Structure 1
Amino acid sequence: MRKLSLKLGIIFFITLFCIETFMMFFLHASLTNSRVEEELASLQARGNSHRTILEQNFNNETLAHIVLMESDESTDVVVTNHQGEILASSQPHPEIRDMFSKIDGEIPYKGRVLQANWQEAKAIATISPIKEQQTTIGYVFMFQHTDSIHALMKRLNKHFLIVGIVSGLVTIAVIIVLSKKLAKPLIQMKEATLNMSKGDFTVDLSTNSKDELGDLANAIQLLSNDLNHLRQERKEFLSSIAHELRTPLTFIKGYTDILAKRDLIEQDRQKYLAIIIEETNRLSRLIKDLFDLAKMDENSFVIEKQCIQLHSFITSMEEKLHPAFQEKGIYFDVHCEKGLLLWADEARLEQILLNLLNNALIYCAPGETTSVTVKKNKDVISIIVKDTGKGIPAEDVPYIFERFYRVEKSRSRALGGSGLGLAIVKELVEAHGGKVKVSSEINKGTTFELLFKGVEANEDYFMHRR
């Protein structure tokens, strides 16, 4: 926490310090220049006021009166004639002659600033011309010592220093609070990701904020939940694989040992061989299903699409499966409109329907019905597989497409299912760019609906997973 909050604090402090320093210097310079300009304007106005009085009565009495007026003030006045000779002065200012010699050109009637450098000079100075019938007859020089300006600047600097210290302390306090507030969720996220890297996905991040940090926390929380779900699925998947592989292997090994160690009559021998062959076939189908799912996960599963005449395809499926349904006493009906075309992989489409119809064959009792209906709505081909079997409980329907999920776990061996058939169906349908829907009621049956785009649609719509 300290490292992250310290880094954030330093960054914030440097940024705000630079901004505040620039603003302080700018404000200080502006106030200083403004104050000096006010002093110069006041000094110039005072000189112009004396000049106006002298223009009305330019005599010794008026000169004495002006000198007397400035004797108690912080300013000094010097009155000269047109040639620069001093006529009256409240304080001696020998620099008058140097200033006078540097006067270049006509002095404007409103006056002029002669000395404005208050930082180095002892006094600032202005000059106002005395006119008589548009002719300059003299000058009024005004001086103000810079001690008062320096004192003013000193007080101003002191005030700025106090303001700077206070603002600096407030800035530091605000930075500490903000850095900790910003660092805390980031540190929680860092710790959460470290725990996730160690296999602990029980992350609980606060997601109340609506900013980018809240979005990041939501994303990490979602990732944690997904990883936790995947871990649980992986455990169940590995456990199910181990169970499914161990059971047929146990049968095969047990009956092989019996055949090898005992003298059996031919009838028992054939019986045990049939069991071994059945379990071997079951094991082979399971491995094939696992291999297909692995290729789908790696996106290396090939869908080789072609134009399928659905009526011929469904009729062929009926001929293959009708004996199996007939043997069990289940009614098997097929309905497909003629002329329907579908852009799909024929072998994979057959695998999809075989898995669904095999489930119907398993879960339907004699006298019940299984049907396959193919129809078209606009450019969507719908293949509906419906049975009137025992149905699926509502709480199990959302999970039936998960791998190794079984509705009746206690009877799964007796019924022969491995829990992979519907998972493969979903993967294959989605590999064709289609969707699969399911609805079911207990003791009323189950309906699977496969939705595909027709061959007339743009072929780019379909997904090619390779």
Structure 2
Amino acid sequence: MFDINKSIFRRILFSSMFTVLLGLCVVGLLISFLTKDYIVTSKEDELLRKAKRVNLAVQNITVLDEGIKDLLIFFDQSYETRIWIFDLQGKIVATSAKDEVYIGKSVDNSVVAKVSKGENAVMNIQFEGMKESMLSVIVPWGKDNKVFGGIILQAPVTGINETITNLRETILWGTLFGLLLSAVIASYLSWTISQPLQKIDRVAAKIGMGDYSQRIHIQSKDEIGDLAATINHMVEKLEIVDLEKKKQEQIRQDFLANVSHELRTPLTAMQGFLEALQDGLIDEGAKPRYYGIIYNETLHMNRLVDDIMDLIKLENNEITLSRSAVDIAAVVTQAAFKFEPEATEKNTSISIHTEEDLAKALADSGRLEQICNNLIKNAIKFTENGRITIQAFNEEPYIHLVFSDTGIGISADDQEMIWERFFKVDRGRSKKNQGTGLGLAIVRELVELHEGKIEVQSEIGKGTTFDVWIPNVESSQK
């Protein structure tokens, strides 16, 4: 994760510093050049105005005497500029300088030509002996169309250059400060981005190891917060899928273990009895009893295989119902009559109560009978010296079937487990009642296949009641 953090920091830092540096450099150069142009232009305009004022003072004078020199010195001191006057031949005839070093020197012919036309000129004039650059403006000397020569005002450009230099130094310091500030901001932004990403990385690593209890706790409302919320939602889904996978795997293992156990028990008994019969250890009079036990174990194995096949077909949606109008009272009566002898052996009575004008059920007759058989048989198995009551009445849009017994009952913990395959309520209580542990699982699948529902209510020592709702014919026609 450190490499990710380092990479993010480096990218943000370099991009922000480059942006600041480029922006300030471009802005600084533009400001310096524009400022220099502005200052120079302003200085030129100012010198032109001053030069015209000097011309106003000497425009009517054609002979330059000592008084003119004093006047030029006055303007020199007032304007802080040097003043030269030259004639139409380009020779300097007067100057505001204290010495006369420049008198008699000549200016460029192009300057004389411009002045002769009455035009102003701005240029840098450099004379021999001048040690610094000067900004010069030239205006015609004269009045109206009478031009006697030209007047030159010069000001040193040192101040302008110093101003531009100071401005550029200020921009440089501003650039350095901007780079420092951008580095601080980049560090902060990198930290605010990398910290949540580090959390996401740590949690993702644990999730990758199969720990789906991990969650990312990020309160920000930005894209990183949305990413964290999405990952949390994904982990919740993965946790559910993983739990379901483990549950299915556990069910598969339990299924194989239970099938192995259920098959091994009768096979072991049958093997022992057959070996005893084969070795002649059983008296002739006792053989029918042994054959009867072997036959019963065979029936038990056959029921187990049939129940397993039915349950597998139901769970794989391989059973198709042939639904039609079924007289549910007749089905219940037939099922109860079938198990009457078995109930009588346990001194248990079976009573049936059906509502008059009971609607027809929309069901598969054979599968509905299988539901009733399993529930009645289950009630008989856990009821001795008691009674079993079967009721049927209309409850739109269903027919409500109630199977009640006064048997041993089911604990609250076991009531959630009775629908599981091979689960037996009496597994630790009694060995007299044999069963496959698949009956109620098959019942629930068949009821749901009929688009019905089933519920259980029970109390230890007081009995159990199964409520079954099967759709009636009238509801399907609406």
Letter in 2 for 1:446: T
- Specify the alignment match of 2:293 in structure 1: 275
Larger CA deviation: 167-176 vs 387-396? 167-176
Letter in 1 for 2:325: I
- Specify the alignment match of 1:333 in structure 2: 352
Equivalent pair of 1:79/1:89 in contact (CA under 8 Å): no
Alignment of 1:216 with 2:234, yes or no, is yes
Instruction: Give the superposition deviation at 1:268.
Output: 1.5
Change over 3 Å in CA distance of 1:451–1:153 after alignment to 2:
same
- Specify the alignment match of 2:307 in structure 1: 289
1:309-324 matched pairs, under 5 angstroms: 309-311=326-328, 312-324=330-342
Distance 2:421 2:210 in 1: 29
Distance 1:78 1:335 in 2: 136
Tell me which of 176, 194, 214 is aligned to 1:205: 214
Equivalent pair of 2:343/2:380 in contact (CA under 8 Å): yes
Distance 1:429 1:206 in 2: 40
Change over 3 Å in CA distance of 1:174–1:366 after alignment to 2:
closer
Change over 3 Å in CA distance of 1:161–1:77 after alignment to 2:
farther
Distance 1:165 1:35 in 2: 26
Deviations 1:242-283 (A, max 9, x none): 221111111111111122222644541111111111111111
Letter in 1 for 2:391: V
- Specify the alignment match of 2:456 in structure 1: 438
Equivalent pair of 2:398/2:470 in contact (CA under 8 Å): yes
Tell me which of 18, 26, 30 is aligned to 1:29: 26
TM-score (norm 2): 0.69
- Specify the alignment match of 1:308 in structure 2: 325
- Specify the alignment match of 1:391 in structure 2: 409
Deviations 1:434-453 (A, max 9, x none): 32211111222211112344
RMSD of aligned C-alpha atoms? 4.8
- Specify the alignment match of 2:384 in structure 1: 365
SS in structure 1 at match of 2:286: helix
Equivalent pair of 1:401/1:423 in contact (CA under 8 Å): yes
Distance 1:248 1:407 in 2: 20
Change over 3 Å in CA distance of 1:24–1:355 after alignment to 2:
farther
Instruction: Give the superposition deviation at 1:221.
Output: 3.7
Distance 2:254 2:445 in 1: 19
Alignment of 1:349 with 2:368, yes or no, is yes
Deviations 1:13-68 (A, max 9, x none): 54675466446534653465456555655665566566667777754669975896
Change over 3 Å in CA distance of 1:28–1:261 after alignment to 2:
same
Distance 2:151 2:345 in 1: 138
Change over 3 Å in CA distance of 1:427–1:29 after alignment to 2:
farther
Change over 3 Å in CA distance of 1:20–1:456 after alignment to 2:
farther
Equivalent pair of 1:322/1:332 in contact (CA under 8 Å): no
Runs of 5+ in structure 2 lacking a partner?
A: 59-70, 87-91, 98-106, 121-132, 141-149, 219-227
Tell me which of 217, 235, 252 is aligned to 2:270: 252
Larger CA deviation: 31-40 vs 212-221? 31-40
Distance 1:338 1:381 in 2: 11
Instruction: Give the superposition deviation at 1:360.
Output: 0.6
Count of residue pairs brought into register by the alignment = 413
Tell me which of 390, 398, 407 is aligned to 1:380: 398
SS in structure 1 at match of 2:377: helix
Alignment of 1:158 with 2:155, yes or no, is no
Instruction: Give the superposition deviation at 1:183.
Output: 1.1
Change over 3 Å in CA distance of 1:160–1:233 after alignment to 2:
same
Equivalent pair of 2:255/2:421 in contact (CA under 8 Å): yes
Change over 3 Å in CA distance of 1:67–1:230 after alignment to 2:
farther
Letter in 2 for 1:343: L
Deviations 1:99-136 (A, max 9, x none): x99xxxx99xxxxxxxxxxxxxxx9x9x9x99xxxxxx
Change over 3 Å in CA distance of 1:18–1:445 after alignment to 2:
same
Distance 1:437 1:79 in 2: 122
Distance 1:265 1:206 in 2: 72
Change over 3 Å in CA distance of 1:78–1:413 after alignment to 2:
farther
Change over 3 Å in CA distance of 1:175–1:205 after alignment to 2:
closer
Distance 2:426 2:393 in 1: 30
Equivalent pair of 1:391/1:442 in contact (CA under 8 Å): yes
Equivalent pair of 2:390/2:401 in contact (CA under 8 Å): no
Equivalent pair of 1:391/1:440 in contact (CA under 8 Å): yes
- Specify the alignment match of 1:429 in structure 2: 447
- Specify the alignment match of 1:110 in structure 2: none
- Specify the alignment match of 1:10 in structure 2: 7
Identity of aligned residues (%): 25
- Specify the alignment match of 2:62 in structure 1: none
TM-score (norm 1): 0.70
Distance 1:77 1:285 in 2: 131
Instruction: Give the greater-gyration-radius structure (CA).
Output: 2
Change over 3 Å in CA distance of 1:324–1:141 after alignment to 2:
farther
Equivalent pair of 2:332/2:372 in contact (CA under 8 Å): no
Equivalent pair of 1:309/1:339 in contact (CA under 8 Å): no
Change over 3 Å in CA distance of 1:356–1:19 after alignment to 2:
farther
Letter in 2 for 1:301: E
Equivalent pair of 2:16/2:183 in contact (CA under 8 Å): no
SS in structure 1 at match of 2:354: strand
Letter in 2 for 1:309: V
Distance 2:85 2:260 in 1: 116
Distance 2:95 2:423 in 1: 116
Deviations 1:418-449 (A, max 9, x none): 22211222222223333221111122221111
Change over 3 Å in CA distance of 1:23–1:191 after alignment to 2:
farther
